[in-house]
Each structure stands twice: as structure tokens, then as C-alpha cells.
Homo-oligomer: A and B are copies of this chain.
Amino acid sequence: MSRSRSFTDEEQATWAPLAAVMELLPARIDQQLARDDALTHFDYLVMAVLTRAPGHTVRMSELASATNATLPRLSHVVTRLEKRGYARRERAADDARAIDVVLTPDGRRKAISATPAHVENVRDAVLDALDADQRAQLREIAYAILDRLDPEGRFAVTRTDPFGRG
């Protein structure tokens, strides 16, 4: 089938609002965290994953997967969190070549205190705008797109969906 070399009207009508969300939503999320807690969304995500982990410790490679990040990008952010006293690197007990990232007590307090305002912001910008059917549709749609963005399943989110994909 020969396809149009430019967007059809229907494609444009679908892509334009998604591209606008992609442009405006990260700014909304980052601005609240920067203003209230001097954190980026990525900083917060790293700390939230560590907060939920046993011993508040996650292997660097697993942490990259859990935060949709490359190792160099994660390493840069962990260094910044170390300087602020929120995290530290440790040589992994079971693998001399591997590095664990550990959330410090200060980091844990920071993540906990930053959470309510961030959660309210995500609810206000996204979750509360959608009914239950739309939230289920959004999960399906986002995972269908993630299959294209991460076909090899490098990132944890593309391998785990507690509401549907298993």
C-alpha cells in the first residue's frame, strides 16, 4: 500500500494534541517540583523508586531501567543527589563490578515530603481529567506506544503492567 508522504487529516488530528501534551506536560511536572522541592521530575522518580525498594537500595542498572534512563544520564543524576546528601553509591555485596544506589535517611525524608504536592499536581493535570474508562484506555495506548519506543524491553515499565499485561 502506498501511503501519503505527509500526515493525513486524521493522523494530524491525532498527533497534534499528543505532541502538545508531550510539550506541555513535562514542563508542568518539572515546574511544580522545582518550585516546591528544588527537584526535577527525574530526581523525584529516582528517589521514589529507591523509597519503595527493599533496604532503599537498587542496583544501578536496575535503577536505570526503572526510570527509563540511560546509565550515563542516571549516573549524572545520582552524583547530583549524592552532593545533596540524598543518595550514595555502594559497591554491590554480591558483584564486585556492580554498583548499588542507596537512598539516605535525608533522601527518604525528602522523597516523602515531596510526594503529596507532586501527586496532587499529577492528579490535577492528568488523572482527574479522565474517567475510569479513559484511564484504562490510556494504559493500553501508552503500552502500545512503549512497545514501539522500547521494543527490546530495556525499561521496567514496558515489562510490568499490574493492570492488564502481566
CB-CB under 8 A from A127, the residues of chain B are 11, 14-15
Partner of A145, one of B16, B21, B140, B161: B21
A128 to B148, CA, bound (A): 9
- A71, CB-defined interface residue at 8 Å: no
Partner of A144, one of B18, B24, B129, B163: B129
- A141, CB-defined interface residue at 8 Å: yes
Let me know if A157 and B16 touch, CB within 8 A. Answer: yes
Once A24-B68, A137-B137, A148-B129 are accepted as A-B contacts, the answer to whether A19 and B5 lie under 8 Å apart by CB is: no
- A38, CB-defined interface residue at 8 Å: no
Q: Which residue of B lies closest to A154 (CB)?
A: B24
Q: By DSSP majority rule, is chain A's interface helix, strand, loop, or mixed?
A: helix
- A39, CB-defined interface residue at 8 Å: no
A149 to B20, CA, bound (A): 10
A6 to B149, CA, bound (A): 28
CB-CB under 8 A from A147, the residues of chain B are 129
Let me know if B157 and A20 touch, CB within 8 A. Answer: yes
Query: Nearest-CB distance from A137 to chain B (Å)?
Result: 4
Let me know if A145 and B119 touch, CB within 8 A. Answer: no
Let me know if A14 and B149 touch, CB within 8 A. Answer: no
Once A11-B123, A17-B146, A157-B17 are accepted as A-B contacts, the answer to whether A138 and B141 lie under 8 Å apart by CB is: yes
- A150, CB-defined interface residue at 8 Å: yes
